[in-house]
Structure 1
Amino acid sequence: MPNILLTRIDNRLVHGQVGVTWVNHLGANLIVVANDEVSEDEIQQDLMEMVVPGSIGIRFFSIQTTIDVIHNAADEQHIFLVVKTPQDVLRLVEGGVPIDKVNIGNMHFSQGKIQLFSTVSVDEDDKEAFRKLRDLGVKLEVRRVPDERPDDIYKHL
């Protein structure tokens, strides 16, 4: 069983808050970025690697590759799984990745979305993915940084 400490939805993926603050809070030694586009974009990978301390590993996998390889993780790998969208989390859970808790950190506002929290905006597809995750027993919390009080997104769906 992979040792996934936390899964985070953040449309920015890895940045200072994720690469340092959350990693230190969780005690993670490996960040797995599960994203189809970034898994093939070396420039984005290089930019994300720059904010991660050298003692922390980082891997970039497509959603399907993550599903295929996550169960091969070594016991000593303490994984912080980072994705871009709730749909990505749903694909991972439906693909057998053992995710029981998801932190929602940042989902930018765009056309067709409504703002639920200062850093979280959703559309109907996002809401549907969250409802399916709830039905699958996944706990969801909105929290930008570790010392912030978590909020339950289900109350807002």
Structure 2
Amino acid sequence: MSAHIVLTRIDNRLVHGQVGVTWTRAVGANLIVVANDQAAADPLQQKLMATTADSTGVGIRFFSLQKTIDIIHKAADRQKIFIVVKTPADAVKLVEGGVPITKINVGNMHYGKGKKEITKKVYVDEQDQKDLLQLASHEDIRVFIEDYPGEKKFTVDESLFK
């Protein structure tokens, strides 16, 4: 039996109100897993994110990418897991590590030098684009941009980057 992952979201802010409350409720998650090496080692960042999770009554765990890969298969059936990563590269590492991800929501990827606008909230550089297309190339993984539950979805494929 594989872990019950309801959604994986790429958001460079990790867990904040929109993720911790709106998305968690929309997907019916009861556990948020923040898979991020820096957050896993930063108690202050964890405390801030845990406050958001506590407000919705869901559990939250902070694991490095490797620890997520190592333990995700031990998750209980009753856990409806919402994984949050910071970058497309993090999602690629989880998928390559065997984490059974089927849906990836690209949420927030801030503007930075060398990044181009895909939507109002998603900016990518060449590596991000390559990673997103690699994820989308898996026939069992649906990758889409959706800022807020119920808003217009953009499927991630080659045409998105033209």
Q: TM-score if structure 1 supplies the norm length?
A: 0.97
Distance in 1 separating the partners of 2:135 and 2:27? 22
Gaps of at least 5 residues in structure 1 are: none
Residue 126 of structure 2, aligned match among 120, 124, 139: 124
What residue in structure 2 maps to residue 114 of structure 1? 116
Segment of structure 1 superposing worse, 1-10 or 125-134:
125-134
Could you say which residue in structure 2 is the equivalent of 1:140? 143
Tell me how far 1:54 sits from its aligned partner: 5.7
> Which range moves more in the overlay, 3-12 or 145-154?
145-154
CA distance in 2, matches of 1:123, 1:131: 12
Q: In the alignment, what sits opposite 2:156?
A: 153
- 2:100 aligns with 98
* Candidates 42, 54, 57, aligned match of 1:55: 57
Q: How many residues align?
A: 157
Q: Please name the residue that 2:42 is paired with.
A: 41
Deviations 1:101-155 (A, max 9, x none): 1000100000010011000000000011112112223211111111212111213
Counting aligned pairs with the same residue, the percent is 52
Aligned to 1:11: 12
Contact 2:24 2:82 in 1 (8 A): yes
Counterpart CA distance in 2 for 1:148 and 1:131 is 22
Q: Which runs of 5+ in 2 are unaligned?
A: none
The alpha-carbon deviation at position 55 of structure 1 amounts to 2.1
Structure 2: which amino acid aligns with 1:145?
Y
